[in-house]
């Protein structure tokens, strides 16, 4: 039964993609900003981020993309943590020159964290006070739907794998983050 639904979904997806008009993405500049929830895979809880990105399509199927997240709410804020994270990487777009644009990418990044309180007060006895830098690796997948040459809808999921090595023990920072909304785009060259 499940395989029939999967097959039906693939047929509908293929028909929708093939029925679209051409919409060349090469030389497109795309940007978006949103509020993104994150679900921690390392500990119980969730966080809320202010998220923005900028992407340039080198070819119809390949783009470079930079993203930033700023922690604005959730468990880590309650624990006196401020976090700013940047990612940069290459994204592969499966369809290429259509309005429906599913993609997959890899992005290394760096998290800058500031611990404002002594963690002894909140159950962690090995927490540093001050700034830390933590390398991260992320995998993203999502879809854009271009409405016209200026606007698009987007939905994205990011898996993050990272460790904060400033503790006396290695503290994992693994998380799933989700983003969706309306974005802007502009063709820079014809």
Burial of 166 (0-12, 13-18, 19+ CB in 10 A): middle
Please give the model's pTM, rounded to 2 decimal places: 0.79
Question: CA 4 → CA 9, 14, 76, distances in Å?
Answer: 9, 15, 43
| Two structure tokens written together for 126 | 């090995």
Q: What is the tens place of the pLDDT at every residue in 113-149?
A: 877 655 544 455 455 567 778 889 999 999 999 998 8
Which residues make Cβ contacts (< 8 Å) with residue 187, sequence separation at least 6? 27, 28, 29, 149
Q: What is the tens place of the pLDDT at every residue in 27-77?
A: 999 999 999 999 988 778 888 999 999 999 999 899 999 999 998 888 765
The domains found in the chain, sorted by start residue, are 22-187 (2.40.160.20)
């Amino acid at each position: 039964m499940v395989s029939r639904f999967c097959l039906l979904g693939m047929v509908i997806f293929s028909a929708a993609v093939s029925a679209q008009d051409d919409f060349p993405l090469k030389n497109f500049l795309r940007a978006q900003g949103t509020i993104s929830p994150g679900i921690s895979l390392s500990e119980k809880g969730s966080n809320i981020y202010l998220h923005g990105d900028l992407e340039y399509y080198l070819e119809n199927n390949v783009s470079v993309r930079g993203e930033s997240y700023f922690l604005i709410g959730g468990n880590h804020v309650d624990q006196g943590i401020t976090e700013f994270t940047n990612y940069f990487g290459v994204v592969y777009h499966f369809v290429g020159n259509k309005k429906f644009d599913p993609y997959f990418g890899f992005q290394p990044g760096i998290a800058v964290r500031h611990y404002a309180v002594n963690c002894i007060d909140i159950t962690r006895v090995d927490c540093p006070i001050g700034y830390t830098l933590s390398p991260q690796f992320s995998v993203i997948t999502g879809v854009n739907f271009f409405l016209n040459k200026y606007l698009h809808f987007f939905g994205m999921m990011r898996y993050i794998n990272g460790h904060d090595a400033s503790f006396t023990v290695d503290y994992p920072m693994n998380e799933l983050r989700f983003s969706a909304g309306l974005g802007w785009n502009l063709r820079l060259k014809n």
